[in-house]
Amino acid sequence: MNQEPQVDYTRNRKQRHRSSRSKTTLGSRLVSEMKDWLLTAVIVFAVMSVLNVFVFNISTVKGQSMQPTLWEGERLFINKISLLFVNPKHGDVVILHDPSTGPSHKEYLVKRVIGIPGDIIEVRNHQLYVNGKIVNEPYIDTEIEDPDFAALTVESGNYFVMGDNRHASASKDSRYFGSISQDMIVGRADYIWWPLSKLNRL
């Protein structure tokens, strides 16, 4: 008469043991998955950080100095690695450290390369000349409204940059702070990637 309760008791104890073991296994699996997820997240963060420092960056346009090519709030894909292999060339849109000082100083500026080492730059009759020839600039919407300046030669290792906005006092550039050294250039702006409606190569 006492045998059947003993069987039930044994069965219940085995079931409790299996349930406990199942919970332990589930907990261990969750901990293991969390560790894997965290390790993956750390690796991805490290890789993205390295890429961000050495390969590419995303920059947001601030101000009006590059209108009508670039407008405030647009986001640019910045190619950093290309300048390790090739020098900036005429027409490149680049991100550079602001060499100016004072209240208008910014961390970065976006400008267009107008002159490379050895070029002779001048503005005559509100037109841009490089090496004695007038420059065709399809990216601007007005002649240069700021005062003309006499011919100057871009020093070795330096670049002359200007904003595409040629309205009066609209761009703080090499006309204001002089030519810049190559090590001040962070990277080349290759694309507008946001908003998607303006997705375009520069």
Question: Which residue out of 111, 172, 174, 179 is catalytically annotated?
Answer: 111
Q: Are strands 75-79 and 185-194 parallel, antiparallel or unpaired?
A: antiparallel
CA distance 134 to 202: 22
For residue 7, the model assigns a pLDDT of 46
**Where are the strands (E) in the chain, listed by range?**
56-60, 75-79, 93-97, 108-115, 120-124, 127-130, 133-134, 149-153, 158-162, 180-181, 185-194, 200-201
Catalytic residue among 14, 28, 62, 65: 65
Per-residue pLDDT of the chain (202 residues; tens, 9 = 90+): 444 444 454 445 545 555 555 556 766 777 777 776 666 655 544 444 444 444 457 889 999 999 999 999 999 999 988 888 899 999 999 999 999 888 888 999 999 999 999 999 999 999 999 999 999 999 999 999 999 999 999 999 999 999 999 999 999 999 999 999 999 999 999 999 889 888 888 8
Give catalytic status of residue 65 as yes or no: yes
pLDDT score recorded for residue 148: 96
pTM: 0.74
Can you name the residues that pair with 122 across neighbouring β-strands? Answer: 129
Active site residue 169: no
The distance from CA 197 to its chain's CA centroid, rounded to whole angstroms, is 19
